[in-house]
Amino acid sequence: MGQSLLDALNVRVTGSGRRVLFLAHGFGTDQSAWNRILPYFLPSYKVILYDLVCAGSVNPDYFDFRRYTSLDPYVDDLLSILDFLGVDRCFYVGHSVSAMIGILAAIRRPELFAKLILVGASPRFLNDPEYHGGFELGEIEKLFSAMEANYEAWVNGFAPLAVGADVPAAVREFSRTLFNMRPDIALFVSRTVFNSDLRGVLGLVKVPCCIIQTAKDVSVPASVATYLKNHLGGRNTVVMLNIEGHLPHLSAPGLLANELLRALSR
Amino acid sequence: MPTPVSTARQCLTQESISTLDAAVAVARRRKHTQTTSLHTVSALLSLPSSSLRDACTRTRTNTYTSRMQFKALEICLSVSLDRLPTQKDVEGDPPVSNSLMAAIKRSQANQRRQPENFFVYQQQSQSQSLVSNVKVELKNLIVSILDDPIVSRVFGEAGFRNYDVKLAILRPVSNQFFRYKRGNPVFLCDYNDGFDVGLRGFSFPFSGFGMVDDCGEGEVKRISEILVREKCRNPVLVGGYARDVLKKFLGRVEGRRLSGEFPVELCGLSVISIENEVGSWDLESVKLRFNEVGRLVEDSIGPGVVINFGDLKGFVGEGGVCVETLTFVVRELSRLLEVYRGRVWLIGVASEYEMYMKFVKGFPSIEKDWDLQVLPMTSPKSSREEAYPRSSLTESFVPLGGFFPTPSDVKYPLGGSTNCVPRCHLCNEKCEQEVTALSNGGYTASVAYQFPSSLPSWLERPELNTTRASDDKANDSMVLSAKVVRLQKKWDSICQRLHFAPFLAKPETYRAYSQVPTIMGFQVVQDGKDNVSSHHANASSTVTGCKVVESSRLTDVELNATAEASAQVIVIPKPVNMRFRETAESDEQCALRTPLKSWSSSNVVEGLTSPTSVTSVTTDIGLRNKLSASRVIETSPHQSDKDLMQDSSGCLPEISDVLAASTKNNASTISFIPSSDLCEQYDQKDYKYLYTSLFSKIGRQEDAVAVISQTLARCKSGNGKRKGTSRGDMWFNFLGSDGICQKKTAIALAEILYGGTESFICVDLSFKDGINYVNSMIGWQDKNNCDMKSRGKTMVDYIADQLRRKPLSVVYLENIDRSDPQVQSSLLYALKSGRLLDSHGREVSTSNAVFVTTSRSMEGKKIASSTEETFSYSEENVVATKGRPIQILIGFDLGDNVISQNTRVLNKTRKDESIPVFLNKRKLVGNDGNIRQYKATEVVKRPHTATKISLDLNLPAEESEMTDVENFDREPFSENFNAWLDNFLTLGDETVIFKPFDFNALADEKLKVITQCFHKIVGSEGSLEVDSQVVEQILATVYLSDSSKVDDWINQVLGQAFVEARKRYNLNSRSVVKVIPCEVQEQAQGALLPATIIMN
């Protein structure tokens, strides 16, 4: 079972270091998103990469609509990968939805994680009276109907918005991976993500976290980073990157890589 | 002559007939004149369990994913279908084309020849001798259709080989052909969720029939898993959705509606809720209730009792609690747990973990006593229904109409079973259910709710309620029959829509899809309206058939409106999309404008003129402009060395709005000047000439300049290290600490060798955090660097890019010792091969460039730093100095010892440093507290200096390692770093050592000048104290520009201040004149030394 899981999710282990670094990509990308920053870690880390089951690079048949109704099954996948690879402690870098998954995984198995680095993370995307998640209900519904109506058009509109900075290569790359997702899966996953609410459980995280947040992010307002810092139960730091976009690993790989190295060594 | 459909049907078996019917339907939808083989193929592929698709899956090449190949097939097919002639008004079914008929005939003949059928047909033909009586089986039909040249071309275009497919159809299915096993991989680790492999289709919405509330299986399982544990068996659900989950879970436990995976040992649990008692003030009633609870627990049969104590809010007391009651409740519950160990469970919720923590704090031992286990709940339980893609969703969804589903697609909830029945079994059943429910008086909303909805529950619920209300109101016998009729009609339409929709809605969506979004919306509306008028039952189904729930809930009368409404709903995406694009554009522009504002005004103009252009175009423009602008910035320091400082401040983005634009125009002209007057005048091989011209530009570091010019001359005359090759690149390594001089040297090299500073590429490799030394004096270094980094490029990309533009240039790479591995490897490669690889793998020739790398540390070469003494003024400190206003304070020395006429340097502001220079006896000055405070703020303000200090060569390396952030950065690479640096330095042409700038001597000298000035004006009375920061400011000025300017400043500005002081105060031998920096706001960038001095 383990091996088939590794195959299905394209798990890749590379690098020559002692310490284990787990790179988990976010919604709309796959593990190729890390390619630009991977070289920075290869000399000193053993890097594990995988694709979320919803990624375009995974056979869509593996996506079971009955199973992946919440984030917990994703956590199961993550933990079973770690178990199968015999990892007993790792640094976890999670972007967007993977940051959420990492939080949940660290609640369940805190001993596995030496540190969580959350890039563009948000515990909740919807606004509440006393919480600013960045999205109103109506907006989300519009987003979903836009996705439904014409996925390609949505991708083409959303990708530059998400990347934020004027980096055509990054926009191209993100559009590619985003479009690779089967539309129904993409919609399903984004519904799952938007329905999730991690705010109540943040205090359960005891693992130290580093929250990396860009100054301008369409999906995550900057205040969320502060919220995370204040509510996560461990020792937390916030690093604000003075760049734009939800995907710093695509739009500013060098900068992010150095921030990650710094965060890892702290 | 085409054959009528009915004739063709006669030659087919039942299975083949349904295929043909589907094909005819496709042709009719597309308004084609004839039904051809292509239509049949399209129909075959869209069947849920199609042998043709199976065959294709088995034969596909491994080069592409099956999804991709199917998509290709889809596209090819639709393209060919589009080519077929259409007709406006369709009457009846389009007849079967000749080619298709021929295919049918071929397969008939084939079938007769097949040995197993031979005798049967032999007999038949003997009796009836009619060819048409041979019923063609689907398999044979497919095979002969594949022979059709149009079809085989389509398949060929999609990358399928015709004969392979045929073979796959004829061969019996054997599993070994499957590339991966079709069964799902089992993902679950924690619990074995045995999802049945055979259930390929997506039957969920219907499988959960009896269940009104379908709680997520996963959550039930997770809760029950905790319940069966030995320890920590009482769950507390934490999270925003915990309440709902608990309610649903308990509801299911009570209602015995637990599915198979619920542990057997828990079957028959009963539930007692004491939720209301927890917050109660009435102790007596609570006691009564607990007596009851105790009895219930005692009497309970089965595995035991789950006590729901509800929200922890009640315990921690939002708005006051009755402590007595609470302690009683807690005690009672603990007692129950104790007494009926193993038979009593507690369960509760907390909306936030903080709440739980409060609770645990309030009752310290409770976590152990109650054996609690926190269970995070992060997703809503109804997510399944909501998040479910609607059955018809994929149609409009998959690009190009989602012609046929990939194997596990969600499209046909009931598989192929619903092809022919007018109203399928399931719908019938549901309809009956509703009818009975209606006649009972209660309208169950559940039914409609069961369908995967287009609306999330929060939108749906209110509507449902209103429906129910109105139903209740109007629920008398008069209306009932009408309602039944209406319901039946409704189910008819639901059934049709859900189960026939695939065939009906496809072409619609497909066509809509091929259009531009704007047109799409329009077209759909049109369709919707047409259909409303023609046959209302189908109305909304043809409108891409995705508004199932909505229309199903509404009545006939409203149907008209619904159709329009749903049409409108579909239109919505258009403006949304548009808005998306618009925001994208405007954002793009904003993004553009922000950097542009600081870069050059001309860019903004360009950015504005292209608001309607496609985003990528705009971004391109933006990027290009930025780069050109950055080049401009680089060129401007060229003007002259002497006022480099002013220049740089002029180049800072704040002012450059106007400046850059003009410089840009000038840039071209500027570049000509040096080339005309300088370049040609001398021979670059002439060592002496090189030396003098270099030295005149730099002004110090004679040895280094000598070495550089020697190497230059040697390389230029072809005697460099890489003698044999034709490469003209040179690699210098500047070691040592005189950073400014190194940079000046590099700039001078650029001017001498390539005739101008525009061929000077400067990158600081240690540049990691995106924050430049904005507050430092050499902030002119490279502002562009910062922006470069955030634009999706790595260092190497930037260097390569610059080199591509300016192959003839000096590449100045600062802090090579702090570079990242990517830069290191590509630099080494460039040094060895003469080509620089960027991160995309593209190569740039470096053979005409001069590389200058600098490193502060001497680690690479073992050069004794014996010449260095302990500095009190380190380069880092001096460089980091900011221009502050300077003030003069007059104090009086009340101590006994009259001070000699000595000038002292106050070193209060930097206590962390070693020994103050001139301090004889430190005295408490009147406003020392003030200064102290100042120091504190200063430290906060300048974290840079703090980190920089530890880079001081004089400190032992071990010490700095643990404390220094920057060293941490390097730590991961440090193992192979030294080896790399050694290698790099030996391969380079020359390693030039720069002597450290002697700040102490300079400080001595300048202080002497100040003292002289002081005594000249004030006389020999009184003493002078100069703050070390002021000294640093003076030093920095000397360091960056030159010494004579500082002397002028001392004599004029400072002298003026002394005159003023003498006038205002009666200076005597006991007075102390202090020159200290003001702690107020910083001066504007540029001048380090203020033009006036503040007097108090």
State the 10-residue block means of pLDDT for chain B, 1096 residues long. 80 83 85 84 77 74 70 84 75 80 83 64 51 71 82 81 76 45 36 35 32 54 78 80 81 68 71 76 79 81 80 70 76 83 82 80 79 77 41 36 37 34 53 57 39 39 40 45 58 53 36 33 37 37 36 37 37 36 39 36 35 32 37 37 37 37 37 36 64 79 82 74 66 79 82 78 65 37 45 72 82 79 80 79 80 70 42 65 73 54 48 36 38 39 38 42 39 59 79 78 82 78 76 78 76 81 74 74 59 72
Nearest CA in chain B to A156: B581
Asked whether B1027 and B738 are in contact (CB, 8 A), the reply is no
A233 touches chain B (CB under 8 A): yes
pLDDT of residue B301: 73
Q: Which residues of B touch A124 (CB under 8 A)?
A: 240
Helix (H) or strand (E) holding A100: helix A97-108
Q: What is the pLDDT of residues A138-156, one digit of tens each?
A: 888 888 888 888 888 888 8
Residue A96: half-sphere exposure toward Cβ, Cα within 13 Å: 24
Average pLDDT over residues A239-250: 88
pLDDT of residue A103: 93
B570 touches chain A (CB under 8 A): yes
Q: Which of A32, A96, A122, A251 is labelled catalytic?
A: A96
Region label for B882, one of left (φ > 0), alpha (ψ between -120 and 50) or beta (otherwise): beta
Kindly provide the b/e burial profile for residues B304-329, where b requires at least 16 CB atoms within 10 angstroms of the residue's own CB. bbbbbbbbbbbbbeeeebbeebbebb
pTM of structure = 0.46
Q: What is the pLDDT of residues A69-111, one digit of tens each?
A: 888 889 999 999 999 999 999 999 999 999 999 999 999 999 9
* Nearest neighbour of B374 by CB, restricted to A59, A153, A204: A204
DSSP class of residue B37 equals: H
Round to whole Å and give the CA distance between B618 and A125.
Answer: 30
Interchain contact, A255 vs B789, CB within 8 Å: yes
The residues that bridge with A48 in the sheet, in sequence order, are A13, A22
Q: Rounded to the nearest 10 degrees, how much is the dihedral formed by the CA atoms of B927, B929, B932, B936?
A: -130
Q: Which of A217, A219, A249, A251 is labelled catalytic?
A: A217
- Measured from the Cβ of residue B18, the count of other Cβ atoms closer than 10 Å reads 17
DSSP class of residue B1051 equals: I
Mutate to test the interface with A, among B379, B391, B513 (most CBs of A within 10 A): B379
B377 touches chain A (CB under 8 A): yes
Residue A83 annotated in active site:
no
- Structural tokens at position B1044: 């004579």
Q: Which residues of A touch B975 (CB under 8 A)?
A: 43-44
* Nearest neighbour of B184 by CB, restricted to A43, A64, A243: A64
Asked whether B776 and B944 are in contact (CB, 8 A), the reply is yes
Interchain contact, B187 vs A188, CB within 8 Å: no
Asked whether B185 and B215 are in contact (CB, 8 A), the reply is no
Nearest CA in chain A to B617: A168
pLDDT of residue B929: 38
Interchain contact, B790 vs A252, CB within 8 Å: yes
Residues 205-224 of A with CB under 8 A from B: none
Round to whole Å and give the CA distance between B938 and A189.
Answer: 50
Cα B261 to the chain's mean position, in Å? Answer: 38
pLDDT of residue A97: 92
DSSP class of residue B685 equals: T
Mutate to test the interface with B, among A53, A76, A150 (most CBs of B within 10 A): A150
Residues 160-199 of A with CB under 8 A from B: 160-161, 164-171, 182-184, 187-188, 191-192, 195-199
DSSP class of residue B453 equals: P
Q: Which residues of A touch B581 (CB under 8 A)?
A: 156-157
- Structural tokens at position B593: 């404008």
Average pLDDT over residues A159-176: 86
Sheet holding B270-273, edge to edge: B270-273, B305-311, B344-350, B234-238, B372-376
Among residues A196, A200, A156, A198, which one has the least CA distance to residue A178? Answer: A156
pLDDT band at A115 (very low <50, low <70, confident <90, very high): very high
CA distance A96 to chain B (A): 16
| Maximum distance among all Cα pairs of chain B, rounded to whole angstroms | 144
- Structural tokens at position B304: 């035991």
Q: Which residues contact B759 (CB under 8 A, 6 or more apart)?
A: B750, B806, B808, B809, B810
Q: Which residues of B touch A154 (CB under 8 A)?
A: 577, 580
Round to whole Å and give the CA distance between A145 and B579.
Answer: 13
Round to whole Å and give the CA distance between B691 and B674.
Answer: 18
Round to whole Å and give the CA distance between A142 and A136.
Answer: 10
